[in-house]
Amino acid sequence: MTTRTDGTDNTDGTDTKDYTQSRTHHADHTGRLIVLTGPTAVGKGTVETELRAHHPEVWVSVSATTRAPRPGEVDGRTYWFMNEAEFLAKEAQGWFLETAVVHNMAHYGTPLQPVLDHIASNTPTILEIDLQGARRVKDRAADMGLDVVYVFIAPPSYDELVRRLVGRGTENEEQRRKRLETAKLELASESEFDVTIVNNTVEQCAEDLWAIIAKEYGLEQ
């Protein structure tokens, strides 16, 4: 598995602390939550799609956002799309586990109750959120009794990240500039996470992510 837990950059896994040995696990394998974070265009969504194609039992939380839908995105499946007034009202009502303003452009948030429901049923549960959101979950996790694993998805290199962002063609030049500024901050935060998976290929990254989930939930790999 390509993992980094000590800040080293070993993509062949040698001389790297083994996450699955270093992490303390509870015997009952309940109450797990996988928080997945990484810079823009690193391929988090593509990795999740690959993961669920082989492991449909994994549930990925659907975030709410105030940004406009992109072509092909479906309300309630890709995101819960809402206007700013609706989002802020739900935030005031305690509807979200965490919220953040991302790239200084739009609000994002994780609906709380579906997360709690899936954890209660011991369903493998993933939150794909940005760095701000991951930090907010970390602030709340202990008070909520959540056992959380923080996973960082990293690109093979910064140049590859830029290539992927430009290649997907969903942002204008100013939006790309803002996203790359944010990406630099996100890449610098890698040491805050329990484990890093380098997304060299989607297939291998999804396999590595499943190995972590299987370990946390006591499932067969």
User: How confident is the model at residue 102, as a pLDDT?
Assistant: 85
User: How confident is the model at residue 10, as a pLDDT?
Assistant: 45
The one-letter code for the residue type at 132 is Q
User: How confident is the model at residue 103, as a pLDDT?
Assistant: 76
Residue 5 to residue 197: CA distance in whole angstroms: 10
Read off the pTM: 0.83
Residue 83 to residue 65: CA distance in whole angstroms: 8
Domain over 3-61+112-217 is classified CATH 3.40.50.300: yes
What is the domain partition of the chain in residue ranges?
Answer: 3-61+112-217
Residue 96 to residue 90: CA distance in whole angstroms: 7
Are 136 and 98 in contact, with CB atoms under 8 Å apart? yes
Which residue ranges of the chain lie beneath pLDDT 50? 1-2, 5-17, 24-27, 29
pLDDT tens digits, one per residue of 70-115: 899 999 999 999 999 999 999 999 999 999 998 778 999 999 999 9
Which residue ranges make up the annotated binding site? 38-45
User: How confident is the model at residue 4, as a pLDDT?
Assistant: 58
Which residue ranges make up the annotated binding site for ATP? 38-45
User: How confident is the model at residue 3, as a pLDDT?
Assistant: 53
User: How confident is the model at residue 167, as a pLDDT?
Assistant: 87
Q: What is the b/e burial string over 85-124, where b = at least 16 CB atoms within 10 angstroms of the residue's CB?
A: eebeebeeeebbbbbbebbeeebbbbbbeebeebbeeeeb
User: How confident is the model at residue 25, as a pLDDT?
Assistant: 47
